[in-house]
Amino acid sequence: MNNEMLDVVDEMGKIVGRALRSTVHGDNSLLHCVVHVFVFDNEGRLLLQKRSMSKDVAPGKWDTSVGGHVDLGEAVEDALYRELKEELGITAIKPVFMYKYIHKNHYESELVHSYRCKYVGAINFNKEEIDDVRYFSVDDIRNNLQKGLFSDNFEDEFLKYCSFLSY
C-alpha cells in the first residue's frame, strides 16, 4: 500500500505531479486528493468507522463514515463510489456533494472532497481497514470533541460540516 502512487495537486485540484503514498504521508507540502462521505441513518445519526490499529494515520480513532485516497488518474466521483463499496459495502446510492477544503497537519495535506447521503441497510465493513462501525448522534460527537476519541481529520471535518449547515 505504501508503494501506491498518488497525484499531487495544487489548491484548485490541478495535477502538478505524482508521488508515492509513503512520500505524501510524511511530507505535508505534497497536497493529494481524498474523498469523505458522511453516511446518516433515518434518525439523523452519523455513521463513524473505528480505524484499524494497523493504519498509519490515526489508528484506533473514530473517523468519517468513508474516507479514502483518489487513486492516480482517478476521477473524484469514481473514488467516491469505489470507497463506499470497499469500506462499507454500500452500492446503488447517490451521495450529494457538500464542499471541498484543505486539511493539513504535521503528517500530510489533503484536498478533501466531502459528500453526504442517507443510507438504511446492511453495513458490510472492510475488517482489514476498519475495526468497528457505529452511529453517533451529533450531540454525542460534540460532547466528545478534543477528548482523543476521534481522528484530528474527523474533528476538523465535523466543524466544517457544522459551519456548512449554518449557511
Which CATH fold topology does 5-165 show? Nucleoside Triphosphate Pyrophosphohydrolase (3.90.79)
Tens-place pLDDT, residues 16-37:
999 999 999 899 999 999 999 9
Mean pLDDT taken over the chain = 94
Helices (H), the chain: 21-24, 76-83, 138-144, 152-165
Mean pLDDT of all residues in 38-58: 93
Identity of the residue numbered 12 = M
Report the C-alpha gap between 66 and 49 in whole angstroms: 8
| Residues 130/117, Cβ–Cβ less than 8 Å | no
pLDDT (0 to 100) of residue 167: 55
Rounded Cα–Cα distance for residues 105 and 25 (Å): 10
What's the pLDDT at 69? 95
Domain spans in the chain, listed from the N-terminal domain onward = 5-165
Question: Which residues, at least 6 apart from 5, have a Cβ–Cβ distance to it below 8 Å?
Answer: 18, 19, 20, 21, 72
Q: How much is the pTM?
A: 0.93
| pLDDT number for residue 2 | 62
Helix (H, G, I), strand (E, B) or coil at 159: helix
What is the rounded distance in angstroms from the CA atom of residue 96 to the CA atom of residue 41? 15
- The per-residue pLDDT for 1 is 59
Distance separating alpha carbons of residues 150 and 143, to the nearest angstrom: 11
Nearest partner of 9 among 24, 152, 58, 22, judged by Cα:
24
Find the mean pLDDT for residues 50-72. 93
Count, in order, helices (H) and strands (E) of the chain: 4, 9
pLDDT in tens, 80-129: 999 999 999 999 899 999 999 999 988 899 999 999 999 999 999 999 99
